[in-house]
Amino acid sequence: MLLQGEFNIQQIVKSIKHSEELNQNYDLNKINLLNYIYSAFKQSFTNVAIKNTTTNEIGKIIKELKSKKSCGCDEITTKILKVSNPFIVSSPLTYICNRMLSIGTFPDRLKFSEIKPICKKGDKTPITNNRQISLLTVFSKIF
């Protein structure tokens, strides 16, 4: 019986032999690198089925966010989001999240964060007495 983290020698030997066979069958100088990669990964990955989210699910996520005054580069706090949730946020946000899932992209605007130094202790002027935190936008947290 194998413990977690232990390797099965037979599996390692099989993977090395398989790798050697692939290297013998393909001369990288003669074929396109993309063709080589495609043939090396002949087995397709299992399809991932992602279900659409609902307004109830988005609303629950918003309710579970900590009410803070801090905000990211969009300057929208979780407090503002929680107050406006019943009126304007849930349905449009649900549509956007479902669209992101169906297309398979994450908008560049949600990838931005604001870096702020937080003083550990003592004098604030030396850089070594500060640690950095990233303030993400509230909408990226929800997704």
Domain range annotation of the chain: 10-40, 55-142
Q: Quick count: other Cβ atoms within 10 Å of Cβ 46?
A: 6
Q: Work out the average pLDDT over 139-143.
A: 85
Higher-pLDDT residue of 33, 84 = 84
- pLDDT tier at 137, thresholds 50, 70, 90: confident
Predicted pLDDT of residue 3:
47
Higher-pLDDT residue of 130, 50 = 130
Q: Give CA–CA dist 46/11, Å, rounded.
A: 22
Residue listed under structure tokens 């609902």: 54
Backbone angles phi, psi at 131, to 5 degrees: -120, 150
What pTM, to 2 d.p., does this model score? 0.56
- pLDDT tier at 29, thresholds 50, 70, 90: low
Predicted pLDDT of residue 101:
85
Higher-pLDDT residue of 20, 140 = 140
Q: Give CA–CA dist 97/88, Å, rounded.
A: 15
Predicted pLDDT of residue 11:
66
Q: Give CA–CA dist 103/13, Å, rounded.
A: 40
Max CA pair span of the chain: 64
- pLDDT tier at 51, thresholds 50, 70, 90: confident
Residue listed under structure tokens 């030396």: 126
